[in-house]
């Protein structure tokens, strides 16, 4: 397995593979994935864009992650900003938004998510990093254990995005990433 830094062109060239891993990891339908294609393609052109990919020796995409600088006028940023009390909006002032981090279910449990997250955060611009993830039992959820292992703290819990019935936790941590995490 190789971890590769990706630029916008790399993500766009492998967009079908990205959507396949994303869909498998999240259990999303092909119809929902079709709506996400345009969003992901547009994200590749945002300021501060960083991406990584875990690729097998045969070239199969096993996982990926990406993010960019969050800012006013971006949908996720504006949703979170409106929900946070004014003092907590400092989290968004110079923030790297970790948009996606996924490992194909067949490749999970081998540390790929941790490796991808570390690589993204080590290269991330900004003073903070924020992400949203579906609420889950923190003891059994791989995602929650991963983020807690990187010292992410609760910024907002039980948040509901328009058009999604699930509750989400918004987690954050300061940057840069210390070498011990």
Query: Which of 22, 66, 68, 147 does the annotation list as catalytic?
Result: 147
The pair of structure tokens assigned to 63 is 């996982």
E strand intervals along 56-121: 61-69, 95-103
Cα–Cα distance for residue pair 131/93, rounded to 1 Å: 14
Is 147 an annotated catalytic residue? yes
Strand pairing of 168-174 and 50-55? unpaired
In sequence order, which residues have a C-beta less than 8 Å from that of residue 158 and are 6 or more positions away? Answer: 135, 167, 168, 169
Could you tell me the CA-to-CA distances from 43 to 11, 20, 157 in Å, in that order? Answer: 10, 17, 25
From the centroid of its chain, how far is CA 98? 4
By annotation, the residues acting in catalysis are 147
């Amino acid at each position: 397995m190789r971890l590769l830094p990706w630029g916008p062109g790399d993500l766009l060239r492998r967009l079908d593979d990205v959507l396949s891993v994303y869909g498998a990891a999240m259990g999303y339908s092909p119809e929902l994935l079709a709506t996400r294609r345009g969003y992901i393609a547009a994200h590749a052109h945002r300021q501060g864009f960083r991406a990584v990919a875990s690729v097998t020796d045969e070239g199969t995409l096993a996982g990926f992650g990406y993010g960019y600088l969050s800012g006013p006028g971006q949908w996720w940023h504006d949703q979170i900003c409106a929900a946070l009390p004014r003092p907590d909006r400092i989290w968004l002032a110079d923030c790297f938004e970790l948009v996606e981090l996924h490992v194909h279910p067949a490749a999970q449990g081998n540390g790929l998510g941790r490796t991808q997250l570390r690589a993204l955060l080590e290269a991330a611009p900004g003073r903070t990093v924020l992400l949203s993830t579906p609420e889950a039992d923190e003891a059994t959820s791989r995602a929650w254990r991963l983020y807690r292992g990187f010292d992410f703290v609760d910024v907002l819990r039980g948040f509901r995005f328009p058009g999604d019935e699930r509750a989400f936790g918004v987690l954050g941590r300061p940057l840069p990433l210390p070498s011990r995490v």
